[in-house]
Amino acid sequence: MDAWLEAHRTPLALALLAIAAVGAAFWLQRAGGERPLVVAVGSPTAPPGGLMVYVSGEVARPGVYPFQEGDRVERAIAAAGGPTADADLTAINLAIKLKDEQQVHVPRRGEGGTAGSGSSVGPSGGPPLVDLNAATRPELEALPGIGPVTAQRIVDYRERNGPFQQVEELKTNKLVTSATFEKIRGLVTVR
């Protein structure tokens, strides 16, 4: 038996390493949620004067993709393999021009506020949702927890960075606190 083990030590060690690698990959995929973020070695880089945009959420292949000036959100979603069956494309503006280092997040149906053409209705058929991309300072100040300083910060951010892509940008860009975001989440939308 010792002679057999000695003769087959290398193949056995390689087989055990392969089993361990497959097990680790499976565990990492399960621990990472529904879809792991895959970053490919040698991923594309933006050509000179180009843009790099992160496409996430309900798309077939989330990731970072290169684009040219003038490309729009619709092209970013197509580059990521298109929307999944659960995607809510009415919640984002497909016509917005892309910017370098932008994130385009395609929400799942029911994930965020509804946005589309026409007026959106608030929770339980209540008052219309406040559109973060069109609201005036006084309209923003009417929201719970939003005072004049925060309302101005939101307007200034929108003017400097272009329209909001999703409501969650209020929190991720630290325009409002987490507590305020929870108060207004169901009262605002982006169109």
DSSP assignment of 141-183, as one string? HTSTT--HHHHHHHHHHHHHH-S-S-TTHHHHTTSS-HHHHHH
185, pLDDT greater than 70:
yes
The owner of tokens 């580059």 is 79
Burial of 103 (0-12, 13-18, 19+ CB in 10 A): middle
Query: Beta strand pairing status for 51-57 and 63-67?
Result: antiparallel
pLDDT tier for residue 172 given thresholds of 50, 70 and 90: very high
In this structure, which amino acid lies at residue 42? G
**Which tens digit of pLDDT belongs to each residue from 121-142?**
444 444 578 889 888 888 898 8
Task: Please tell me whether the overall predicted TM-score, pTM, comes out greater than 0.85 for this model.
Answer: no
Higher pLDDT, 52 or 34: 52
83, pLDDT greater than 90:
yes
- What region does 184 belong to: left with phi over 0, alpha with psi -120 to 50, or beta? alpha
pLDDT tier for residue 26 given thresholds of 50, 70 and 90: low
| Residue partners of 129: CB distance under 8 A and separation at least 6 | 113, 114, 120, 121, 122, 187, 188, 189
45, pLDDT greater than 70:
no
The owner of tokens 């994130």 is 103
Higher pLDDT, 62 or 14: 62
